[in-house]
């Protein structure tokens, strides 16, 4: 499919982070144990599809929380359930290049891609949590450069495995008895620094060629990985100039690799809290803030910043001296840079910081029109091709997006009113990949 003639269209993805982004989300939901229930995720998937969203996204960090729901289920389990009750919405599964083997990543994601009719994506993350290292037999986390070197090699192996089946490799001709065309199946022969992989994948090509590759990590190494290989990138930016800078960097680096800049879709995070009027939106935010304070968020914020939970105090500024000494170990450079920039620009205490963006993404409180104004400015100003939406509390926060924000964006001609294709690649305006890489990692 060629995308050249298409007008530029906004993309919207929803981050299905258990109960929602707000720490109070689980306390206001009909069922606080929904995060363990496939019916809960199916409802979210149906809602996302009713809103014509590009995809639902499951993060994964191998962690749990003692204070609220977390990503307990392996992402492929809820995503397969969503695939069964929807026909269009894309399905993004996070897999760690630091701890998961590329063959397993390639196979699981290709399986979801095939059974969903070409709707799957791999969100590649160079996991930063030291606790995760200990789950996988390491005493400590490899350093940032080492994790990204491994990520790059893992991505090359996964892409080669995905492309090991050419179109037409699966024949299944009952009359002649020909099941496959072996000349179109290309074994990978990879002897690298981190992985040795010999042989083809055992999952044939899906209707979108291969799964979409998403990258989430805003350090220079993460950005370089995205520019070279990714079809889309999740980013963190709090101001339009910062977003425009990141957008230009990724697109021009992609062009430097001989890629078309519109084949890397840039999706910053956005956390809207919506209301029919501005006062109603503020009331909803105040209500959620009142149900649960931010004490429970200190652990996650300190981890993101490479600190210990005891280093942060709600009514004090960030401990800038400790942050200087903490260096980069264990922190997400992309998230940390965005959070530190916001805190220093606006001189925020930890509590104010958490009220503004309880986990790193830019937050807006307002009516669908007000949020749409902002979305439009970022989209037309080339700070974003779309957004990775964080929902305050599922399911009603997503209902407010689907029934309020989406129609407003549709009225402005920014967002699709119907899906134009059935694959995630077609929703994102991505060309179907060839199989040039077949067998070569
Ligand atoms: C929207 C978004 C989602 C992310 N999801 C995950 C995730 O599910 N699991 C994870 O380990 N890291 C996730 N991260 C990325 C990590 O921060 C990143 O892979 C790694 O820690 C290094 O990040 P850096 O390049 O920013 O230093 C996500 C980042 C963004 C922006």
221 close to 125: Cβ distance less than 8 angstroms: no
List the residue whose alpha carbon is closest to atom 13 of ligand 1: 125
Cα torsion at 93, 406, 238, 257 (round to 10°)? 50
23 CA distance to ligand 1 middle (Å): 19
What is residue 1's predicted lDDT score, i.e. its pLDDT? Answer: 44
What is residue 254's predicted lDDT score, i.e. its pLDDT? Answer: 96
Confidence band of 438 (pLDDT split at 50, 70, 90): low
pLDDT over 90 at 419, yes or no: yes
Same domain, residue pair 17 and 141: yes
DSSP helix, strand, coil percent of the chain (3-state; round to 5): 45, 15, 40
- The average confidence (pLDDT) of the chain is 93
For the segment 313-325, what is each residue's pLDDT rounded down to a tens digit?
A: 999 999 988 888 7
In a domain, 290, yes or no: no
Which of 363-367, 376-380, 429-433 is predicted with the least confidence, judged by mean pLDDT? 429-433
Same domain, residue pair 267 and 336: no
**Which residue out of 123, 147, 217, 232 has the highest number of ligand 1 atoms within 8 Å of its CB and is therefore the one to mutate?**
217
Q: List CB contacts of 211: < 8 A, sequence separation 6 or more.
A: 109, 110, 112, 113, 120, 121, 122, 162
Same domain, residue pair 339 and 375: no
276 CA distance to ligand 1 middle (Å): 33
285 CA distance to ligand 1 middle (Å): 26
Q: Partners of 362 in the beta sheet?
A: 270
What is residue 434's predicted lDDT score, i.e. its pLDDT? Answer: 73
List the residue whose alpha carbon is closest to atom 19 of ligand 1: 125
Same domain, residue pair 29 and 163: yes
Same domain, residue pair 189 and 302: no
Residues near ligand 1 (Cβ within 6 A): 59-61, 94, 96, 125-128, 216-219, 222, 234-236, 269, 332-335, 388
338 CA distance to ligand 1 middle (Å): 13
Mean pLDDT for 18-36 is 95
246 CA distance to ligand 1 middle (Å): 16
Same domain, residue pair 179 and 228: yes
Same domain, residue pair 171 and 106: yes
Same domain, residue pair 229 and 267: yes
Last residue of a domain, one of 321, 340, 357: 357
In a domain, 286, yes or no: no
Residue 323 belongs to what domain range? 295-357
14 close to 57: Cβ distance less than 8 angstroms: yes
Same domain, residue pair 71 and 193: yes
In a domain, 176, yes or no: yes
List the residue whose alpha carbon is closest to atom 6 of ligand 1: 59
- Output phi, psi for 364, to 5 deg: -130, 135
127 CA distance to ligand 1 middle (Å): 7
Total tally of structural domains belonging to the chain: 2
Residue reference for tokens 């050419």: 166
Closest C-alpha to 95, from 27, 154, 166, 48: 154
**Which residue out of 269, 332, 389 has the highest number of ligand 1 atoms within 8 Å of its CB and is therefore the one to mutate?**
332
Q: Of ligand 1's atoms, which has the minimum distance to the CA of residue 236? A: 31
22 close to 358: Cβ distance less than 8 angstroms: yes
Residues in the chain: 441
For the segment 266-275, what is each residue's pLDDT rounded down to a tens digit?
A: 999 999 999 9
Same domain, residue pair 26 and 153: yes
Same domain, residue pair 256 and 369: yes
Q: List CB contacts of 380: < 8 A, sequence separation 6 or more.
A: none
102 close to 63: Cβ distance less than 8 angstroms: no
Helix (H) or strand (E) holding 136: none
In a domain, 65, yes or no: yes
Last residue of a domain, one of 306, 324, 357: 357
Last residue of a domain, one of 316, 340, 357: 357
149 CA distance to ligand 1 middle (Å): 16
Is the four-CA dihedral 47, 48, 51, 52 of positive or negative sign?
Answer: negative
In a domain, 437, yes or no: no
**Which residue out of 301, 334, 386 has the highest number of ligand 1 atoms within 8 Å of its CB and is therefore the one to mutate?**
334
In a domain, 439, yes or no: no
Same domain, residue pair 308 and 198: no
**Residue 166 CA neighbour count, 13 Å, CB half:** 15
Helix (H) or strand (E) holding 190: strand 188-191
Closest C-alpha to 232, from 221, 243, 216, 219: 216
Is the four-CA dihedral 204, 208, 209, 213 of positive or negative sign?
Answer: negative
206 close to 110: Cβ distance less than 8 angstroms: yes
Q: What's the whole-model pTM score?
A: 0.93
Is the four-CA dihedral 243, 145, 389, 92 of positive or negative sign?
Answer: positive
In a domain, 28, yes or no: yes
List the residue whose alpha carbon is closest to atom 8 of ligand 1: 59
For the segment 195-241, what is each residue's pLDDT rounded down to a tens digit?
A: 999 999 999 999 999 999 999 978 999 999 999 999 999 999 989 99
CATH value at residue 224 = 3.20.20.30
Alpha carbons 56 and 410: distance in angstroms, whole number = 19
In a domain, 349, yes or no: yes
């Amino acid at each position: 499919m060629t995308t050249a003639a298409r007008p530029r269209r906004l993309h919207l993805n929803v981050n299905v982070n258990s109960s929602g982004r707000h720490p109070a989300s689980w306390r206001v939901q009909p069922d606080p144990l929904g995060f363990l229930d496939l019916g809960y995720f199916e409802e979210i998937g149906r809602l996302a599809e009713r809103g014509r969203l590009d995809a639902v996204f499951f993060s994964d960090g191998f962690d749990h929380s003692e204070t609220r729901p977390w990503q307990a289920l392996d992402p492929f389990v809820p995503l397969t359930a969503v695939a069964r009750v929807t026909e269009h919405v894309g399905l993004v599964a996070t897999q760690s290049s630091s701890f998961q083997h590329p063959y397993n990543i390639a196979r699981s994601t290709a399986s979801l891609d095939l059974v969903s009719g070409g709707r799957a994506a791999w969100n590649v993350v160079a996991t930063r949590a030291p606790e995760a290292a200990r789950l996988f037999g390491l005493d400590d986390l490899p350093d940032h450069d080492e994790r990204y070197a491994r990520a790059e090699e893992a991505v090359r192996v996964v892409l080669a495995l995905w492309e090991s089946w050419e179109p037409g490799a699966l024949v299944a001709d009952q009359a002649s008895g020909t099941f496959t065309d072996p000349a179109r199946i290309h074994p990978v022969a990879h002897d690298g620094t981190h992985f040795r992989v010999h042989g083809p994948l055992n999952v044939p090509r899906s209707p979108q060629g291969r799964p979409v590759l998403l990258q989430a990590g805003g350090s220079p190494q993460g950005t370089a990985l995205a520019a070279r290989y990714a079809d889309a990138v999740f980013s963190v930016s709090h101001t339009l100039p910062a977003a425009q800078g990141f957008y230009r960097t990724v697109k021009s680096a992609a062009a430097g690799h001989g890629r078309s800049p519109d084949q890397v879709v840039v999706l910053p995070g956005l956390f809207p809290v919506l209301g029919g009027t501005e006062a109603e939106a503020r009331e909803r935010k105040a209500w959620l803030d009142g149900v649960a304070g931010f004490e429970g968020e200190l652990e996650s914020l300190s981890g993101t910043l490479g600190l210990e939970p005891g280093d942060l105090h709600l009514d004090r500024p960030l401990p800038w001296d400790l942050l200087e000494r903490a260096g980069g170990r264990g922190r997400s450079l992309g998230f940390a840079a965005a959070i530190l920039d916001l805190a220093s620009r606006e001189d925020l205490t930890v509590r104010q910081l958490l009220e503004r963006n309880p986990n790193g993404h830019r937050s807006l409180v307002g009516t669908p029109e007000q949020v749409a104004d902002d979305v439009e400015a970022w989209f037309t100003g080339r700070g974003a091709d779309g957004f990775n939406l964080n929902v305050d509390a599922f399911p009603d926060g997503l209902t407010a997006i689907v029934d309020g924000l989406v129609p407003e964006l549709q009225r402005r001609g920014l967002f699709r009113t119907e899906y134009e294709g059935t694959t995630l690649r077609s929703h994102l305006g991505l060309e179907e990949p060839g199989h040039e890489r077949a067998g070569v990692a």
